[in-house]
């Protein structure tokens, strides 16, 4: 690679540019920065016919136009036509310049055209891009789910990843709730956990158009109240009295305490068993009379008071 000052008129944008949007406010800020301090990081280009084509740095090139510069510093790199997307993606990934959907699109495009890039596995693609294999898998899965289910571009790759393992219909409904702001991105793991392992009662509540319970409430109920009858009872209380998360915790403690008390009462009642006198015994040494008793669970020896009195 070599560094050279190149006229803006000689530089062309990259048709394979992974970036799809350049925000006006961000461009304006960069323009002001360039007017103040110039371009600090050269634009990466390749020779293309009699001109140059951008590999990475189109945002800087656009801002330079807005700042009315004549020339900008460029790093000239030798890149074959078929590798231009690959190189552009690598450059942008390292600068973290891409949105989630732009990165998904680029990674997916390379993956479906992997034979052209001599890539055989996701592990190999991850190594060449300089990212982890699970991130490559996440981007490919997110791209496929986003396009198959028509998921909003505003939903992050991470949110889509966290819903993996759910049924497509359930997954889409959960993502829609995140997109509408009904469920926070930070609550997706908890919600997905309940949707995977919870009762039908809790699943229905979490997927209703208007939420009556929070994901944290649902997880607490699922973990601490295994009985569906009890779950239904407390969910009904949440709907009727609009309980807070703390009040739900208190309600669960009340239910569990009442249950423990009921169990203890039954056990004490069970202790009042019928006692049978099994056999009488006369001690040859002390001359006292004893009786062997049994309640069906235990047996023991007592002095026969009735005999003594007689």
Residue-wise pLDDT tens digits, 170-219: 999 999 999 999 999 999 999 999 999 999 999 999 999 888 899 999 99
pLDDT at site 120: 92
Q: Do 92 and 9 share a structural domain? A: yes
Q: Do 76 and 11 share a structural domain? A: yes
In a domain, 170, yes or no: no
pLDDT at site 37: 86
In a domain, 57, yes or no: yes
Q: Do 67 and 10 share a structural domain? A: yes
List alpha helices for 84-167, DSSP H: 84-95, 100-112, 122-129, 133-149, 157-162
In a domain, 168, yes or no: no
Average pLDDT over residues 256-261: 83
What percent of the chain stands above pLDDT 90?
52
Structure tokens at 128: 């060449």
**Where in the sequence is the domain holding 295, given as residue range(s)?**
276-309
CA distance 166 to 147: 17
Q: Do 252 and 197 share a structural domain? A: yes
Which residues are paired to 279 by β-bridges?
Answer: 292
Q: Do 134 and 53 share a structural domain? A: no
Q: Do 92 and 8 share a structural domain? A: yes
Average pLDDT over residues 273-286: 73
C-alpha distances (whole Å) from 156 to each of 14, 121, 175 are 25, 25, 10
Among the listed residues 124, 95, 72, the one whose alpha carbon sits nearest the alpha carbon of residue 19: 95
Pairing, β 51-56 against β 276-282: unpaired
Q: Do 215 and 229 share a structural domain? A: yes
In a domain, 169, yes or no: no
User: What's the CATH code of the domain at 2?
Assistant: 3.90.1530.30
Boundary (domain end) residue, out of 63, 96, 129? 96
Q: Do 219 and 137 share a structural domain? A: no
Give this prediction's pTM: 0.68
Q: Do 138 and 103 share a structural domain? A: yes
In a domain, 271, yes or no: no
Residue 270 has pLDDT above 60, yes or no: no
Q: Which are the contacts of 89, defined by CB distance < 8 A and separation ≥ 6?
A: 18, 103, 106, 107, 110, 129
Say how many domains are in the chain. 4
């Amino acid at each position: 690679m070599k560094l050279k000052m190149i006229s803006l008129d000689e530089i062309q944008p990259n048709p394979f540019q992974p970036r799809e949007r350049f925000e006006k406010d961000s461009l304006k800020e960069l323009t002001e920065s360039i007017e103040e301090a110039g371009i600090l990081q050269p634009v990466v280009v390749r020779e293309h016919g009699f001109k140059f084509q951008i590999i990475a740095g189109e945002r800087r090139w656009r801002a330079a136009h807005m700042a009315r510069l004549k020339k900008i510093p460029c790093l000239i790199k030798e890149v074959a036509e078929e590798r231009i997307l690959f190189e552009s993606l690598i450059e942008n990934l390292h600068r973290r310049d891409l949105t989630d959907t732009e990165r998904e699109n680029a990674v997916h495009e390379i993956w479906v055209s992997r034979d052209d890039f001599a890539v055989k596995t996701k592990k190999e693609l991850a190594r060449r891009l300089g990212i982890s294999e699970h991130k490559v898998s996440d981007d490919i899965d997110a791209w496929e789910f986003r396009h198959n289910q028509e998921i909003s571009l505003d939903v992050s790759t991470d949110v889509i990843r966290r819903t993996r393992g759910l049924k497509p219909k359930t997954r889409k409904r959960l993502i829609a709730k995140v997109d509408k702001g009904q469920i926070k991105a930070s609550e997706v793991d908890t919600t997905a956990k309940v949707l995977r392992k919870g009762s039908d009662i809790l699943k229905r509540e979490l997927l209703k158009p208007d939420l009556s319970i929070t994901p944290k409430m649902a997880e607490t109920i699922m973990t601490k109240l295994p009985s569906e009858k009890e779950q239904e009872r407390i969910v009904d209380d949440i709907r009727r009295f609009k309980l807070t998360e703390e009040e739900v915790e208190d309600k669960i403690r009340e239910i569990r305490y009442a249950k423990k008390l009921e169990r203890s009462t039954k056990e004490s009642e069970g202790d009042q068993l019928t006692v049978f006198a099994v056999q009488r015994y006369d001690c040859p040494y002390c001359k006292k009379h004893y009786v062997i008793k049994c309640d069906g669970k235990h047996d023991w020896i007592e002095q026969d008071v009735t005999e003594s009195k007689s």
